[in-house]
A = this chain, B = another copy of it.
Amino acid sequence: MRLVIATCAVDYEGRLSAHLPTATRLLMVKADGSVSVHSDDRAYKPLNWMTQPCELRAEPGRWVVSNPKGETLTITIDEVHLDVQHELGADPGLQKHGVEAQLQELLAANPGFLSQGLRLVRREYPTDIGPVDLLCRDAAGQAVAVEIKRRGEIDGVEQLARYLERLDLDGRLRPVRGILAAQRIKPQAQVLATARGIECVEVDCERLRGAGVERLTLF
């Protein structure tokens, strides 16, 4: 990794045109050839960048980074304040434990949490436009499709509505109830869900983790 702090102007031509007036910034060149330009705020997003694969042609006072798609990043360098290089080696990578997968696991184990008397038929129940997270039957034997999201937004409602359309074509399932389950459901999504006849359940992950086990032992 090469780190350069320089007073520079930057121009990007590609999916859009963008220009950065002259100022002092960090230029980061990584081992995979990628280049990014950082200002002194915002942890996450570079001001400008070029992802791998790309090629850097560094002349004094002017770097041109281009990629096979024909996008170019031109860095015009006025003054270099720092220029260091260090080999980092390969990174072992991030181990993460996601929320949506966990939610699905917990709700699959405790569907009664979503609606009294719900029983799981199958996780990832297939339709021709993709799998429904949970297919259940309620106490009355009616089929219930459950879409699980970390955050309930309009997309999730529309997605579930499309699944319901599909599932309703199956005589053995019709008519199918729909439940959108999420840690938090946005008002707009609530409204749309109601209009589509879809129920919304906000799930408290902590309570589910604790109470879920209790329920299992109780019934």
Contacts and interface: CB of A to CB of B under 8 A. Distances in A.
Interface of A: 1, 3, 5, 15-21, 23-26, 28, 30-32, 34-36, 38-52, 81-82, 84, 86-99, 154-155, 158
Contacts of A82: 84, 86
B86 A84 contact: no
A81 B89 CA distance: 13
Copies assembled: 2
A17 B86 contact: no
B46 A44 contact: yes
A5 B86 contact: yes
B91 A41 contact: yes
Contacts of A38: 1, 28, 30
A52 to B, nearest CB: 7
Nearest to A9: B92
13 contacts: A1-B26, A16-B96, A17-B97, A19-B94, A23-B92, A25-B88, A25-B91, A30-B41, A30-B43, A32-B42, A34-B42, A36-B44, A82-B84
A44 to B, nearest CB: 5
A84 to B, nearest CB: 6
A75 to B, nearest CB: 13
A44 B38 CA distance: 10
A213 B41 CA distance: 42
A96 B13 CA distance: 10
Contacts of A91: 20, 23, 25, 39-41, 47
A77 to B, nearest CB: 14
Contacts of A99: 15-16
- Of A43, A50, A87, A89, most buried by chain B (CB within 10 Å of CB) is A43
Nearest to A92: B21
A34 to B, nearest CB: 3
